[in-house]
């Protein structure tokens, strides 16, 4: 853990310095080729930073933030679009570029939702089910094929939901006293990552409005809209899913440290074609009328089934799913030990 914390400090410092350079360079250049040329050193540096981590979690998260989101934001900046602008303050620019952070619209009041009972119950339920899945992991080899498909899908989805809830809710609880200060200084807050994807009633609803919302936020202006303007909406959807598939292959390389197999790209190409088919059907025949519960069940079954077939295969085949669970257990043990030490220190101070 100590080596990972040192690597985190180095990567954070290098990323902040690179973003500061990007702001300085683009503030003196017009959008277009000159800006892109000035940003090439930063774009060349970003893919190497995640390799500072040996932890699968930290390597993957840093790759997602820097190699995907940050790189796309910088490419949009080179074209004069996107959330970044040289006129932003240095702190705001660095935060918005290197993290999943959005600058608040000054005309809109920031959300004032508190950390309440609804969040606690939701997070506790997700964490309890996720913990049960980890406990059942040792029986995976004995499960029938159809059960493995459902098990892997539920495991990964709940892992992402628990992590998202912890980051968005637990972070607010821990930093409640500093939330107002941070909002005032940065004028920014974390992008929501998920919006109850287990309630999605269609693939377009799942991918466009509920799952991993930071990705559509960068793919719309960088891929979908330019392609739609030239070739139409259907081509824009397919192009966005293909780019997402390619970038997921890159993310999987940071997870497995092995060349991509094309399965993840095939997964997103399939889903892109299905989203186009959904829209075509709706335009020709009107929306497909069925109970919301049925639509949700069919959507989640399709996502889970195709995900186990194509999306999860590179990870489970290499055995990294077990390494993922082992890292979770190490982190839980580290936090538990730190909690006991903190409690002991508090008791000593109170004596």
Q: Determine the structural domain holding residue 25 and report its residue range.
A: 2-104
- Nearest-angstrom CA–CA distance, 338 and 190: 26
Whether residue 286 sits in one domain with residue 229:
yes
Whether residue 160 sits in one domain with residue 57: no
* pTM for the whole structure: 0.76
How far apart (Å, rounded) are the C-alpha atoms in residues 123 and 130? 10
Write the Ramachandran bin of 31: left for phi over 0, alpha for psi from -120 to 50, otherwise beta.
beta
Provide the pLDDT confidence category of residue 336 given band limits of 50, 70 and 90: low
Residues 231, 276, single domain; the answer is yes
| 95 and 121 fall within a common domain | no
Q: At 101, which helix (H) or strand (E)? A: strand 101-103
Q: Does residue 77 lie in a domain region?
A: yes
3-state secondary structure of 102: strand
pLDDT above 70 coverage of the chain, percent:
65
pLDDT confidence of residue 156: 56
Q: Same structural domain for residues 41 and 86?
A: yes
Higher pLDDT, 126 or 178: 126
Integer angstrom CA distances of residue 186 from 50, 111, 181, 189, 208: 25, 15, 8, 8, 27
Q: Is residue 159 located within the same domain as residue 208?
A: no
306 and 252 together in one domain: yes
| Domain annotation covers residue 212 | yes
22 located within any domain: yes
Query: What is the domain count for the chain?
Result: 3
140 and 215 together in one domain: no
| Residue whose tokens read 């290499």 | 318
d(C-alpha 177, C-alpha 183), whole Å? 11
Domain ends where: 131, 147, 178?
Answer: 178
pLDDT at 136: 61
Domain boundary among 104, 133, 166: 104
Does residue 23 sit in the same domain as residue 119? Answer: no
Is residue 184 one of the residues assigned to a domain? no
Q: Is the pLDDT of residue 18 over 70?
A: yes
Q: Is residue 333, in this structure, part of any structural domain at all? A: no
Residue 77 has pLDDT above 60, yes or no: yes
- Distance, CA of 175 to CA of 179 (rounded, Å): 6
> Which of 150, 178, 206 is where one domain is finished?
178
The SS3 call for residue 211 is: coil
How far apart CA 307 and CA 302 sit, in angstroms, is 8
Instruction: Tell me if 186 is assigned to some domain.
Output: no
Ramachandran angles phi, psi of 267, nearest 5°:
-60, -50
Same domain, 261 and 160: no
Residues 56 and 134 in one domain: no
Contacts of 28 (CB under 8 A, 6+ apart): none
157 within domain boundaries:
yes
Residue 100 maps to a domain = yes
CA terminus-to-terminus distance, the chain: 31
Provide DSSP, 171-192. Answer: HHHHTHHHHHHHHHHH-EEEPP
Mean of all residue pLDDT scores within the chain: 77
Residue with tokens 């098990």: 151
Lowest-pLDDT range, 180-184, 223-227, 255-259? 180-184
Q: Tell me the β-bridge partners of 189.
A: 102
- Please check whether residues 90 and 127 belong to one and the same domain: no
Q: What is the spatial distance between Cα 103 and Cα 125, in angstroms, rounded to a whole number?
A: 32
């Amino acid at each position: 853990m100590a080596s990972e914390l040192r690597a985190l400090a180095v990567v954070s410092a290098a990323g902040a310095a690179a973003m500061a350079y990007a702001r300085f360079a683009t503030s003196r250049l017009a959008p277009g080729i000159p800006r892109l040329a000035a940003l090439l050193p930063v774009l060349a540096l970003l893919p190497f930073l995640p390799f500072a981590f040996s932890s699968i979690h930290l390597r993957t998260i840093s790759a997602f933030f820097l190699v995907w989101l940050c790189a796309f934001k910088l490419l949009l900046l080179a074209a004069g679009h996107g959330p970044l602008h040289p006129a932003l303050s240095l702190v705001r620019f660095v935060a918005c570029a290197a993290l999943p952070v959005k600058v608040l619209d000054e005309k809109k009041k920031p959300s004032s939702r508190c950390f309440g009972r609804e969040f606690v119950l939701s997070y506790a339920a997700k964490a309890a089910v996720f913990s049960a899945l980890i406990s059942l992991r040792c029986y995976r080899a004995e499960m029938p094929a159809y059960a493995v498909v459902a098990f892997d899908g539920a495991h990964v989805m709940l892992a992402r939901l628990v992590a998202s809830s912890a980051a968005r809710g637990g972070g607010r609880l821990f930093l409640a006293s500093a939330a107002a200060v941070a909002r005032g200084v940065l004028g920014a807050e974390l992008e929501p990552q998920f919006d109850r994807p287990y309630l999605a009633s269609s693939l377009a609803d799942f991918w466009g409005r509920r799952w991993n919302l930071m990705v559509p936020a960068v793919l719309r202006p960088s891929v979908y809209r330019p392609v739609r303007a030239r070739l139409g909406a259907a081509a824009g959807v397919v192009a966005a899913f293909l780019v997402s598939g390619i970038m997921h292959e890159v993310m999987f390389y940071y997870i497995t440290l092995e060349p991509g197999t094309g399965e993840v790209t095939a997964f997103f190409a399939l889903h892109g074609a299905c989203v186009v088919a959904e829209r075509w059907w709706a335009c020709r025949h009107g929306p497909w009328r069925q109970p919301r519960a049925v639509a949700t069940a069919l959507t989640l079954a399709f996502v889970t089934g195709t995900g186990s077939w194509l999306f999860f295969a590179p990870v489970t085949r290499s055995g990294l799913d077990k390494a993922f669970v082992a890292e979770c257990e190490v982190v839980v043990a580290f936090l538990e030990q730190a909690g006991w030490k903190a409690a002991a220190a508090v008791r000593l101070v109170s004596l």
